[in-house]
Amino acid sequence: MSTDKLLSVHNLCVELSTAQGRIRPVDDVSIDLRRGEVMGLVGESGSGKSLTCRALMGLLPGNVTSNVTAALEVDGEHIDISSTKALRRIRGREIAMIFQNPSSYLDPLMPVWRQIAEPLLSREGLGRGEARAQAVALMRKVGIPDPPNNARAYPHQLSGGMKQRVMIAAALACKPKVLIADEPTTALDVTVQMQILRLLLDLRKESGLSIILVTHDLAVVSMVCDSVNVMYCGRIVEHGERNDVLGTPAHPYTKALLSSEPSLLGEGEELKAISGQLPPLNKLPSGCRYRSRCEFVLERCADQDPELRAVHGAHLAACLRCEELAGRNEALA
Amino acid sequence: MKPLLEVDHLVVEYPLQRGMASWLQRKGARGLLAVNGVSLSIPKGHAVGVVGESGCGKSTLGRAMLGLEKASEGTVGFDAKALGRLSAGELTAFRRRAQMIFQDPVGALNPRLSVRQMLSEVIRVHRIRERADEEHYVKELAAKVGLSEDLLDRKPRSLSGGQCQRVGIARALATGAEFLVADEPTSALDVSVQAQIMNLFKRLKEELDLTLLFISHDLGVVRYLCDTVLVMYLGRIVERGPAERVFADPKHPYTRALMASIPHVGETTSDLPKPVKGEPPSPINPPTGCPFHPRCDRAFEDCKRAPFPEERVLENGTVACHLYSSQRPRPKGRGLR
Amino acid sequence: MIIAKTMGGVRRRLALPYWTLYFGIGIVIVWTALAVFAPIVAPYSPDNQILTATLQAPNSLHWLGTDNFGRDVLSRIIWGTRVDLLMGGLGVLFPFIIGTIIGTLAGYYGGWVDRILMRLLDITMSFPFFVLIIAIVAVLGAGLVSFFIAVALVGWVSYARLVRSQFLVLKKADFVTAARSLGFSNMRIMLRHILPNAILPAIVFSMSDAVIDILLGSSLSYLGLGVRPPTPEWGLMIAESQNFMGSAWWMSLFPGLAIVILALGFSLLADGVAQRLGVAVE
């Protein structure tokens, strides 16, 4: 993993018009992705992690009145995020995305090789034979058995894991530099989940692919990611290298997530649930958004909305008490 | 002590619509064996976890144990009475004592009824309380599952997933159920809500001495709540034992593969364990012999040809794998040891 | 029909604005009121023939003019509301009840019950409606009764299908399994759990069906197969004005407008209810 920045997005804001007024499900999010890095984007439903990724790709639902602003740079080149044309150019070529439920994202009426080769046929202008050959090669690369025969298969003839591999192959067709994986393994069996995660890591090793892995599962993050961003209510509340964030969490929300995940519990530890619920986006509390559920809340948390600040080196957290909280932990490892 | 539940060689078969081609080929008349010869017994107050991936039959097993699926072969016994042979009155009595908690918390509730109406209906149909006491009992139930009173008049669409699941649990407890089958009760919930519901199960189990059959694909959840674990693959139990032992020292290659997919804190990315190959097979076309052999890294000739291995008793549970066939065979009785 | 979906509070731009539902309700209420209070509201009796005032254009005495018998068009339209609303209302009610019962039984019990009932449905569907109405009219004479009988015999099919398909889907829903595991009887599950949910699409359909029935009844009356003169009915009024289309345009225009407005009212009501229920039922 090199240190140069492949993808850099700063102050990403997505504003939506809803029946309840204008809301900001993504509020001032900044991400710097290095070449060859696997970055975890963690949060529960409603945290804004999926919308963040879709905004980067220009894939927000079309019927929604939205306003997206950001400073976006891909591989050193500045991209105008409000221009659909600019985003369409980088989509697939520079940044590709795979989704949670492969069944919904594959065309049931098209054989899989065509779905993988489609960008090759249309954008790269390849002939049918060549495109198909490349599709078969991609299928082999992602571990689909017997590619020449399975190329003719239709999605419904394949299992869940196979379909996800097809999606990955399709995403890789134009050799993107960044792959955004939005909960790619949530709908899969655990043993298949491991296969797909392994595949993503192998792809990173082979071609230096950078990956943004969106997930609600901290366990997956702990196995696969180099760095972690924790999101809450549209904001990034903690950021850093994986061992720092998971070992010595500095934000109360991260700590709460860690202690409510049964597979990350130590011996004899109790599960601690997070009380309360996500505040509605059109009625956010004053000051810190997390304070109504926070076990470390102070009075002054209602006055300030904390910014991300350094706890230790590149480990950042948006909490007034972050240094104190990080110091309080024994490392979990 | 007599176990509360006893399942004996249970088979649940779904007839398959065979096309002309297989009729012409005279393919076997066997349908889809969702549950293929499962035996187990659960003592009162015990929490048994059933883990496995898609197609293993764990949900079907759970439903069969509540009499919601018909047993094609074998029996399910509750409190020493076989379910298939209960009279109508006995069946109603059984329904009071054994209930199900569902995976989709919102879908498990009638969208047109409020929480209060749902609970009242159960109370009235089973005559749990007098009319005068009904109101009080509803509030009691809500308190027991941690549901605040002002939610009682809401309908499911105005409740969160976690709240709906609490309603489902309250409804099950309303009849005074002693045995709960929880079919992936936390899978559809957010992580923080999962923890709330799991703690609720834990508390209720202790307070009410509940007997639980907890079905989940999430091993961490099962480990947290259950005393015993059953590992299922394609309709059969491949390993069983005390939860701690199965997690710490899995014997069956499939169990090992499952355990390897739970993360351990502190691993670096280079430590990612080698994943097991292939995918969970479909019960429509099961592999010959031991169904796990195509994916097993320890498979040998027998695994493909010999019939499904019998469960062998080890010091701490049983395992159904040819690797252990040199051990003494299982005694006639059932049970965990 | 346009059904709006709300995704987290964001409404699709294609949705009808909320007020159209109230507009539809308003129209229906106004017509219903006219029908109920016809004796009070109508300026003249509908059969009152003022032979000195035939074929008068709309004027201060007769706001919508008079027909060739000197009858006040406005009064005839108001009195005609009773007939047309009855056609829409009862014309829907009988098929609704019959269809719901059949759909419930077929959907819930399945098996041979379902098969027999669906064959019955197929037979009924293959029956041409107009042939049936002509046959019934030939036997029983024209009139509302024949109309209701014919519509009931043929119209239940759509309702049965809607209710049955809902039952087939809802039978497998978790909350129904929950009801079974709670020990509720089949009757209770069928009637108190599934039916209230299954019947919603049928209710929505019934409102647009009402429109069809009104148009059907009017057309039949126009053809002489429905209501007989001198009963005031909008379709019949149009038929009677045939010879005077060019000269006395008011005789056909206003009854026609009445049909259109009432049909519009029911349509908006149907769409509005579908919208609301679609939102509410999820």
Average pLDDT of the residues in A193-217: 91
- Give kind and range of the element (H or E) at residue A172: helix A160-172
Q: Write out the two tokens for B306.
A: 């010999």
Question: Between A205 and B322, where is the model more confident?
Answer: A205
In angstroms, the CA C127 to CA B318 distance is: 66
Whether C175 and B107 lie within 8 Å, measured CB to CB: yes
Q: What is the pLDDT of residues C137-181, one digit of tens each?
A: 888 887 888 889 888 988 899 999 999 999 999 998 999 999 999
Q: What is the pLDDT of residues C239-265, one digit of tens each?
A: 888 888 888 888 889 988 998 898 888
Give chain B positions within 8 Å (CB) of A217. Answer: 191
Pick among A64, A67, A278, A281 to test the C interface (most C CBs inside 10 A): A64
In angstroms, the CA C269 to CA C31 distance is: 14
- Give kind and range of the element (H or E) at residue A152: none
| Nearby residues of A268 by Cβ (< 8 Å), 6 or more positions away | none
Whether C177 and B100 lie within 8 Å, measured CB to CB: yes
Min Cα separation C273/chain A (Å):
19
Average pLDDT of the residues in B319-325: 82
The pTM (predicted TM-score) of the whole model is 0.82
Give chain B positions within 8 Å (CB) of A259. Answer: 195
Q: Write out the two tokens for C151.
A: 């519509």
DSSP state string for chain C: -----EETTEEPTTSPPTHHHHHHHHHHHHHHHHHHTHHHH-SS-TT---GGGTTPPS-SSSTT-B-TT--BHHHHHHHHHHHHHHHHHHHHHHHHHHHHHHHHHHHHH-HHHHHHHHHHHHHHHTS-HHHHHHHHHHHH-SSHHHHHHHHHHHHHHHHHHHHHHHHHHHTTSHHHHHHHHTT--HHHIIIIIIHHHHTHHHHHHHHHHHHHHHHHHHHHHHHTSSSPTTS--HHHHHHHTGGGTTT-THHHHHHHHHHHHHHHHHHHHHHHHHHHHHHHH-
Q: How many helices (H) and strands (E) does chain A have?
A: 12, 12
Q: Which residue has the tokens 């804004």?
A: A48
> With bands split at pLDDT 50, 70 and 90, how would you rate the model's confidence at A2?
low
Question: Between A282 and C206, where is the model more confident?
Answer: C206
Q: If we measure between CA atoms, which residue out of A96, A104, A234 comes closest to residue A172?
A: A96
Per-residue pLDDT at A1: 61
Q: Which residue has the tokens 């089958």?
A: B181
Across chain B, mean pLDDT equals 85
- pLDDT higher than 50, residue C10: no
Q: Write out the two tokens for B278.
A: 């292939």
Size of interface A-B (CB pairs under 8 A): 119
> With bands split at pLDDT 50, 70 and 90, how would you rate the model's confidence at B21?
low
Per-residue pLDDT at B51: 94
Min Cα separation B282/chain A (Å):
9
Per-residue pLDDT at C279: 44
Whether A217 and B191 lie within 8 Å, measured CB to CB: yes
- pLDDT higher than 90, residue C271: no
Whether B190 and A216 lie within 8 Å, measured CB to CB: yes
Per-residue pLDDT at B335: 44
> With bands split at pLDDT 50, 70 and 90, how would you rate the model's confidence at C21?
confident
- pLDDT higher than 70, residue B20: no
Q: Write out the two tokens for B331.
A: 């005694």
Min Cα separation A13/chain B (Å):
25
In angstroms, the CA A309 to CA B301 distance is: 61
**Residue in chain B nearest A269 by alpha carbon:** B224
**Residue in chain A nearest C13 by alpha carbon:** A63
User: What letters, b where the CB count within 10 A reaches 16 and e where it falls short, cover A213-239?
Assistant: bbbbbbbbbbbbbbbbbbbbbbbbbbb
Per-residue pLDDT at C4: 34
Min Cα separation B95/chain C (Å):
5
Per-residue pLDDT at B198: 92
- pLDDT higher than 90, residue C93: yes
Per-residue pLDDT at A251: 93
Q: Write out the two tokens for C212.
A: 């069809």
Q: What is the pLDDT of residues B170-193, one digit of tens each?
A: 999 999 999 999 999 998 888 888
| DSSP state for residue A302 in the 8-state scheme | G
Q: Write out the two tokens for A284.
A: 């956010």
Per-residue pLDDT at C166: 93
* Closest CB from C175, C180, C282 relative to B110: C175
Give chain C positions within 8 Å (CB) of B104. Answer: 174
Average pLDDT of the residues in C98-122: 93
In angstroms, the CA B280 to CA B231 distance is: 13
Q: What is the pLDDT of residues C202-213, one digit of tens each?
A: 988 998 888 888
| DSSP state for residue A203 in the 8-state scheme | H
C71, C49 Cβ separation under 8 angstroms: yes
Q: What is the pLDDT of residues B256-269, one digit of tens each?
A: 888 887 766 555 55
- pLDDT higher than 70, residue C75: yes
In angstroms, the CA A25 to CA A53 distance is: 12
Q: What is the rounded end-to-end Cα distance, in angstroms, of chain B?
A: 14
Q: Beta strand pairing status for A227-232 and A38-42?
A: parallel
Residues 166 through 185 of chain B touching chain C, CB cutoff 8 Å: 168, 171, 175
| DSSP state for residue A113 in the 8-state scheme | H
Query: In A, what residues contact C, Cβ < 8 A?
Result: 16-20, 61, 63-64
Whether C177 and B96 lie within 8 Å, measured CB to CB: no
- Residue B88, φ and ψ in degrees, nearest 5: -60, -45
CA separation, residue A331 to residues A6, A244, B271 (Å): 31, 9, 19
* Closest CB from A20, A61, A63 relative to C9: A20
Min Cα separation C229/chain B (Å):
48
Q: Write out the two tokens for C279.
A: 């939102």
Average pLDDT of the residues in C9-28: 68
| Nearby residues of A145 by Cβ (< 8 Å), 6 or more positions away | none
Min Cα separation A270/chain B (Å):
9
Whether B102 and C180 lie within 8 Å, measured CB to CB: no
- pLDDT higher than 50, residue A117: yes
B262-268 contact pairs (CB < 8 A, 24+): B262/A190, B262/A219, B262/A263, B262/B219, B262/B220, B263/A219, B263/A220, B263/A222, B263/A223, B263/A263, B263/A264, B265/A222, B265/A246, B265/A264, B265/A332, B265/A333, B266/A247, B266/A332, B266/A333, B267/A222, B267/A223
Pick among C5, C166, C182, C185 to test the B interface (most B CBs inside 10 A): C182
Average pLDDT of the residues in C11-24: 67
Across chain A, mean pLDDT equals 87
- pLDDT higher than 50, residue C2: no
Q: Is the ipTM value over 0.90, yes or no?
A: no
**Residue in chain B nearest C200 by alpha carbon:** B112
Per DSSP, helices labelled H in B86-130 are 88-97, 115-125
Average pLDDT of the residues in A141-146: 90
Cα-based torsion angle of the residue sequence C17, C21, C22, C23 in order, rounded to the nearest 10 degrees: 90
- Residue B43, φ and ψ in degrees, nearest 5: -75, 160
Size of interface B-C (CB pairs under 8 A): 55
Q: What is the pLDDT of residues B55-84, one digit of tens each?
A: 889 999 999 999 998 889 999 999 888 888
Angle at the Cα of B231 (from B229 to B235), degrees rounded to 5? 135
- pLDDT higher than 50, residue C274: yes
Per-residue pLDDT at C275: 76
Whether C174 and B126 lie within 8 Å, measured CB to CB: no
In angstroms, the CA B254 to CA B296 distance is: 7
Query: In B, what residues contact A, Cβ < 8 A?
Result: 53-54, 160, 190-196, 198-199, 217-221, 223-224, 257-258, 260-263, 265-267, 269, 272-277, 279-280
Q: What is the pLDDT of residues B200-223, one digit of tens each?
A: 999 999 999 999 999 998 888 898
C6 and chain A in contact, CB less than 8 A: yes
Across chain C, mean pLDDT equals 84
- pLDDT higher than 90, residue A226: yes
Angle at the Cα of C182 (from C180 to C184), degrees rounded to 5? 60
Min Cα separation B195/chain C (Å):
23
Whether B160 and A277 lie within 8 Å, measured CB to CB: yes
Question: Between C231 and B136, where is the model more confident?
Answer: B136
User: What letters, b where the CB count within 10 A reaches 16 and e where it falls short, cover B174-183?
Assistant: bbebbbbbbb
Q: Write out the two tokens for B115.
A: 């929480």
> With bands split at pLDDT 50, 70 and 90, how would you rate the model's confidence at B232?
very high
Taking each helix axis from N to C end, the angle separating C73-109 and C200-223, rounded to the nearest 10 degrees, works out to: 140
Whether A17 and C7 lie within 8 Å, measured CB to CB: no
Per-residue pLDDT at C13: 40
